Amino acid sequence: MAELIAPRLALGEHRYAVEVEWTGDRGEGTASYRSYSRAHVVRAAGKLHELAASSDRTFHGDRERWNPEELLLAALADCHMLSYLHVAANHGVVVRGYTDAATGLMREDGRGGGAFVEAVLRPEVVVADASMADLAQTLHHEASEKCFIAASVAFPVRHAPTVRVLGA
């Protein structure tokens, strides 16, 4: 990974870097829209594994590889989960399980582009005790406010959480 010389960061600033390498040249490059694979890898310094990625199958990608739209949705769900666990710990809510079945909607604009118009996170939280359930439900709002990724996108990120009690 190439080293960048960057100005010193101010307190509270964080830089992130990834590399994307296209691996889809089938011998004739981009001679036509269908002549090349959308295969590529995403990596970052210090990471154990690279991500095998492509475009969405709709755009002639490989359905067995991650696509950018899935990665964006995963980043939103992951960020909300990590923010939620932090908020729960701060409020004394003991989370014993957490899953999310997130979905996103992207619309093409008819000019070759498009944009996400919404994401819906559906976290299912399992708490240790029934006395924590109501507070656990309300903490999603605070977690959403603390999620850097959700604060960075230009579309609504809605939440449809459920809370269960361990063993119930």
Q: Identify whether residues 154 and 75 lie together within a single domain.
A: yes
- Buried-state track 9-40, b at ≥16 Cβ within 10 A, e below 16: eeeeeeeeeeeeeeebeeeeeeeeeeebbbbb
Identity (one letter) of the amino acid at 2? A
Q: What is the model's pTM?
A: 0.84
Domain end position, chosen among 66, 82, 102 = 66
19 with 95, same domain: the answer is: no
Last residue in a domain, options 9, 41, 66? 66
pLDDT at 74 over 60: yes
Q: Tell me, yes or no, whether 158 and 78 share the same domain.
A: yes
Domain end among 49, 66, 83: 66
1-5, 16-20, 162-166: which has the highest mean pLDDT?
Answer: 162-166
Please name which of 42, 4, 51, 52 lies closest in space to residue 21, comparing C-alpha atoms: 42
What pLDDT is stored for residue 6 in this prediction? 58
For residues 40 and 129, the model is more confident at 129
Containing structural domain, residue 44: 1-66
pLDDT in tens, 115-164: 999 999 999 999 999 999 999 999 999 999 999 999 999 999 999 999 99
